[in-house]
Amino acid sequence: MKIAGSTTVITGGASGLGRATAERLSGAGGRVALLDLPKSPGAQTAAALGQNAMFAPCDVTSADEVTVALDAAVARFGAIHILVNCAGIGTAEKTFGKRGPADLAAFTRTIQINLIGTFNCIRLAAAHMAKNQPNEEGERGVVINTASVAAFDGQIGQAAYSASKGGIVGMTLPIARDLAEMGIRVVTIAPGIFETPMLAGLPEPARISLGTGQAGPLPAPPRPPGRVWSAGGPYHRERHAQWRDHQARRRHPHGAALSWKFGGRFAGWGRAGPPGTRMAPR
């Protein structure tokens, strides 16, 4: 899939990883439609990106709102070639703790937004992609989902978040098989920790536990003297955007979940390979 001249719909595109992806693809000559909540800075982000960007406010869990947003993108740019799902929320709560049993409503909301919202956008965007003329490689569209390393290695308090991201990983292959006959490729990326509004919204103890890697039953390996852990900042968000760009352009893999994280079990305990990345097919 060629980025230049293609239209990408990015959910959660107003900030964080979604915005970094929009900046990367827009800079490569693509058109981007940012889907995010009406209260988000989506309009400002689209304005900053220029005439090849637009903001379509919607709630990803609403079939009607996503339908209207996608129709607006097609009306503005003519077609939808790529969908990047970045919209999501994070929660941190033990199954049972000092405050009693976990809040079932919070668990349900996390599943609703992260998992069902992702599927909602895939199914509706696929209907538009199926109308595209196939390119020289037979592709009509590409879907790139965002899971998390928490899908494979969830920490204390991450039951809801891990379940939602594990669901995204689990549905990647069957959705890829469903859409293969229409020439729509599907891949999921499972990144590690980045400085985003979602991470900033977690309680401080949760951010600290994720950062130290000491939330799980296994102790974290000792750090080199003087090293302070920090979540991936702007540089790593840009690397994440580059990885999405790479997956949108290439034909392979299809139906795969790719883990991208700092070296180590969950947090950043000594990087392996190029700084900030470690890609491994799961």
Parallel/antiparallel/unpaired status of strands 256-260 and 279-281 = antiparallel
Q: Give yes or no: 235 in active site.
A: no
Cis-peptide, bond into residue 41, ω within 30° of zero: no
Residue 92 to residue 144: CA distance in whole angstroms: 25
31 burial (CB, 10 Å; 0-12 / 13-18 / 19+) is buried
Nearest partner of 135 among 282, 242, 6, judged by Cα: 6
Residue indicated by tokens 């209260």: 39
Spot the catalytic one: 55, 77, 107, 161: 161
| Residues belonging to the active site | 161
